[in-house]
Amino acid sequence: MAKQNIFDNETFFEGYKTIRDKEGNANNLFEIPALFSLLPDLKGKSVLDLGCGFGEHCVEFVNKGASKVVGIDISEKMLEVAKKENSNPAITYMLLPIEDIEKVEGKFDLVISSLAFHYVEDFDGVVKKIYDKLNEGGRFIFSQENPINTTYSGERPRWTRDENGKKIYVNLANYAREGERESEWFVEGIKKYHRMFSTIVNTLAENGFIIEKMIEPIPTDEILEKFPDQDDLFHKPDFLLVKSKKN
C-alpha cells in the first residue's frame, strides 16, 4: 500500500516551510525544546531519526556528540533541503517511509522521531521494528500531535468561543473512536491517525518498552508575555512527547 507523502505536494510544502520559518511557531516554542530536554547523553552514540525532514535535528545530534546519525524521510523535497543545508560526514540521509525501517542497516542507541507518528497507520508494527533496531538499553523518544488534537475530524468547529471570539473550551468528540481522520491543512485530504493515550502507552509497554517520561508542553510566563495567544494550550496541549527505554 502506498504511504501518504503530503510533503512532496508543492502547495503543502511551501505552506509548511513558511510556518516553520516564523519565529513564534509552535515547533520552536514548545515541541523542539521539549524533545531535546528528553535526550540522553549522545556522546559516541548512534541515532536513527524517523521523519527527519530538513535535517536540522540530525546536525544537532552530531553537535551533541553522536558518532553516527541516519535520517530517513518519505519526502524527496525535504531530503533535498537536508542534503543541501544540513549535510555532515556523520549523517546519512535515506529516502524511506518510517514503516520500512528494517531496510536500514545496523542497530542504534537512540531512535527518535519528531511529529511523524500521527501520519503512521500501523503504530504497533512500527514500534515492534523500532524495538528490534535498538541496542540493549537504547531509547525511543518521539513527539506527535496530542491525542486531543488527532481526534478532531473537521466536521464541526474545533473551539467554542464567547461573544468576543475568545476560546472558551475545545469541542471534543469521538475520542474513543480510533483510526483515520481526514482534514485540511494547506491542502485537502491530509490523512492522520488518531489513537487514545492508553493505546499509545499500552503499545509501547506490550512491545517491551519502559516509559520514562511524558510531556505535554504548555507556555511559560515568558512565552505568554510575547505570544499571548498561546494561552489556549491550557485548554488543549498541541503535542505529546514520550521517552521510553528498551527493557
Percent of the chain with pLDDT over 90: 81
What is the dihedral sign for C-alpha 246, 178, 197, 217?
positive
Least confident of 6-10, 59-63, 149-153, 232-236: 6-10
| pLDDT, position 4 | 55
Copy the grid coordinates of residue 30. 514548545
**Predicted confidence band of residue 1 (pLDDT cuts 50, 70, 90):** very low
Domain boundaries, the chain: 26-147+196-246
pLDDT confidence of 26, banded at 50, 70, 90? confident
- Look-up of cell digits 475520542: 175
Q: Which tens digits make up the pLDDT trace of 48-81?
A: 999 999 999 999 999 999 999 999 999 998 899 9
- Range 26-147+196-246: architecture per CATH: 3-Layer(aba) Sandwich (3.40)
pLDDT for the residue numbered 184: 58
Global confidence as pTM: 0.89
pLDDT at 3 over 90: no
CA angle 155, 125, 97 (to 5 degrees): 75
What span, in angstroms and rounded, lies between the C-alpha atoms of 151 and 194? 6
* pLDDT at position 190: 79
The residues, any chain, with a CB within 8 Å of residue 189's CB and separated by 6 or more, are: 182
Q: Does the pLDDT at position 156 exceed 90?
A: no
The confidence band for 218, taking pLDDT boundaries of 50, 70 and 90, is very high
Task: Give me 234's grid cell.
Answer: 491550557
Residue 12 has pLDDT above 80, yes or no: no
Out of 3-7, 75-79, 102-106, least confident range: 3-7
State the Cα–Cα distance between residues 61 and 10, nearest whole angstrom. 29
Query: Which pLDDT belongs to residue 189?
Result: 64
User: Is the pLDDT at 14 greater than 90, yes or no?
Assistant: no
